[in-house]
Structure 1
């Protein structure tokens, strides 16, 4: 697999390149938007790690170019902890993001998780609900549902496991906070509640509580 690493911090590039190459992946490094665009013109990539803050522009430009080239899995590397930056990157076609500084094992797990997810269909449909994974947007009928990054990530977990009971511990692993740590149990409860409210009315599917066990994504009884 060919990976494009777009990062301008030399202290990060070398160890990260070695880490990825030990997985058997071919890595091309670029330290700027211009260098990344040049690499994209020459080589098709199956995956990319893209820093948002580059010396000659934003990594969002690189995401856009990668989407124009093909269907590479894109994971954002960023020191920007504000949700707006993350949402813009996701809207440009990124699949996931990780906040610096990050742990090597965590990064590899996130890359592999993105690659597994991208093997599935780009459009997920359950009743009137449609999720477009290319743009990280969800719709009930023609109406877009405004989801936060955590709500969107949680929804994907449910859609990947219809009819199955998902324990709270499993769901907590899918909800990373902006510092790269697991969120707490109360945050999960609040996120499930808000996601339920946004999907209510016309979707045909819902998040059911299975007492003492967890949650299950299932059809409404009268759907």
Structure 2
């Protein structure tokens, strides 16, 4: 099983290093950033399974960042805040925060809560990206609340892209993950054909896609 990746956005470098070391000792892979801008770059370029962020950052705040990321992809977000007020709790809930703790905090409790977030039954949570929603319980796809009928292969391909949103994926990666995992041999043209079919169903203008975009000479990216 692949290691879960946690992106830490914290401007206190000592705390950042301590969190990284402690979480790595638990078997997680970590990435770290000190600003909103750097954190967003890492999130879009490399992705993560859980976001652990500070409330106050040099170029923004965790609440706004949480709302922005939740609008792109539904992943667990855990906030660390220097304050412990009812207003912060209300604001956290309104922005879609999954959990938060005030500083100073117990590292053991933090790790237990992170573990719980990562182990929750993700099949019960729809996977959303922009105007696209995937219900993994029923294997149905919706665009702006309207159901989009996809074949089994199209559904698996879309799920793979959305789960790796913001990452450039080569045709070889897509073949390995969507087709070779089933033990079926296919050629690269199969990827292109199925992507064209997906675009015709999901994009407002399939010839000028906004979601499933070509990266010339490399592969594709889901935006």
TM value normalised by structure 2: 0.51
Q: How far, CA to CA, are the matches of 1:87 and 1:28 in structure 2?
A: 28
From 99, 124, 129, the counterpart of 1:121: 124
C-alpha RMSD over aligned residues: 1.7
Matched, 1:60 2:54: no
In the TM superposition, 1:188-199 aligns within 5 A as: none
Does the aligned pair in 2 maintain the 1:49–1:74 contact within 8 Å? yes
Q: Give aligned pairs, total.
A: 123
> Partner residue of 2:174?
none
Matched, 1:92 2:92: no
Q: How far, CA to CA, are the matches of 2:104 and 2:123 in structure 1?
A: 30
Q: How far, CA to CA, are the matches of 1:90 and 1:105 in structure 2?
A: 23
Partner secondary structure for residue 124 of structure 2: coil
1:10–1:58 Cα change, 3 Å:
same
Matched, 1:30 2:10: no
1:165-206 superposed Cα distances (whole Å, 9 cap, x missing partner)? xxxxxxxxxxxxxxxxxxxxxxxxxxxxxxxxxxxxxxxxxx
Partner secondary structure for residue 50 of structure 1: strand
1:26-46 superposed Cα distances (whole Å, 9 cap, x missing partner)? 111111111111112212211
Report deviation, 1:118.
4.9
Q: How far, CA to CA, are the matches of 2:121 and 2:67 in structure 1?
A: 17
1:101–1:58 Cα change, 3 Å:
same
1:118–1:96 Cα change, 3 Å:
farther
Q: How far, CA to CA, are the matches of 1:19 and 1:44 in structure 2?
A: 20
Report deviation, 1:90.
2.2
Structure 1 stretches lacking a partner, 5+ long: 124-223
Q: How far, CA to CA, are the matches of 2:48 and 2:36 in structure 1?
A: 16
